[in-house]
Amino acid sequence: MSGAVGEARREVRFPISEAFRFSVESIRKRFTRALITAISIVLGVAFYVGLRTMSDIMIFIYGGSEAARSYQFWMAIISLIVCAVGILNSMLMAVTERTREIGTMKCLGAMDSHILMIFLIESSLIGIIGGVMGAVIGWVTGLLIYVGEHAAILFNPALLGSYALRIGEGVLIAMVLTVGATIYPAYYAASMDPADALRFEL
């Protein structure tokens, strides 16, 4: 059994495989919460990718005048902000409401790095699933809007590249924002003394 604290190097262990299992389990257990979070990611990314796809098609058809460019540019910025605020808001809430749980896990021997690992895996999974779904939905919606008038040119090889780019951007934005908005509050909660985390009220 246990001896003195300082005698030898004592370590707690939490391998990646264990963390992965824990994270997946955690998402499954809070499925409704995860779904709400994922939906906000899907909507945000779909909004962004949809608008960008549409503007790519517009520019392809009508060419880009200066005025049109700046209009498209602002549309892109606004869609990005809407997307980012949606994701940040829901992720920050989802982690902050688990502060006490983080405190409890620290009392049971979790290190800050273990906690970060769990939240990193959880948010990456949610981010990638939400991001891919959102990007595909946004892209398909963008195409559907023009399919009546311009069906012929929608799959023009020159456009395919920009579609791929938009979808890639959408997934990347989802990943970065989801992980970022999770890790920050998780790190904050993990670095609190457990006594403070346990006392935490939303």
Partner 1 sequence: MRYEYTVETEDLAKYYQMGEVVVKALDGINLRIRRGEYLSIMGPSGSGKTTLFNMIGGLDRPTRGRVYIDEVDISKLDAYELAWLRCRKIGYIFQTFNLIPVLTALENVTLPMIFAGVPREERLRRAIELLTKVGLGDRLHHKPAELSGGQQQRVAIARALANDPVIVLADEPTGNLDLHTGLEIITMLRNLNKEKGVTVFTATHDLKMIDVSDRIVWIRDGKIDRIEKRVDVVVSMEEM
Chain residues that interact with partner 1, rule: CB under 8 A: 1-7, 9-14, 18, 22, 26, 29-30, 100-101, 103-112, 114, 193-196, 198
Smallest distance, partner 1 to C-beta of residue 39, A: 20
Residue (100 or 150) nearer to partner 1, CB:
100
The CA distance from 37 to 81, in Å, is 17
The CA distance from 135 to 83, in Å, is 12
Smallest distance, partner 1 to C-beta of residue 116, A: 12
Residue (37 or 72) nearer to partner 1, CB:
37
Residue (57 or 110) nearer to partner 1, CB:
110
Residue (89 or 104) nearer to partner 1, CB:
104
SS3 44: helix
Q: Please report the DSSP string for 178-198 in residue order.
A: HHHHHHHHHHHHHHS-HHHHH
**Could you count the other beta carbons within 10 Å of the beta carbon of residue 165?**
12
The CA distance from 128 to 175, in Å, is 6
Smallest distance, partner 1 to C-beta of residue 182, A: 17
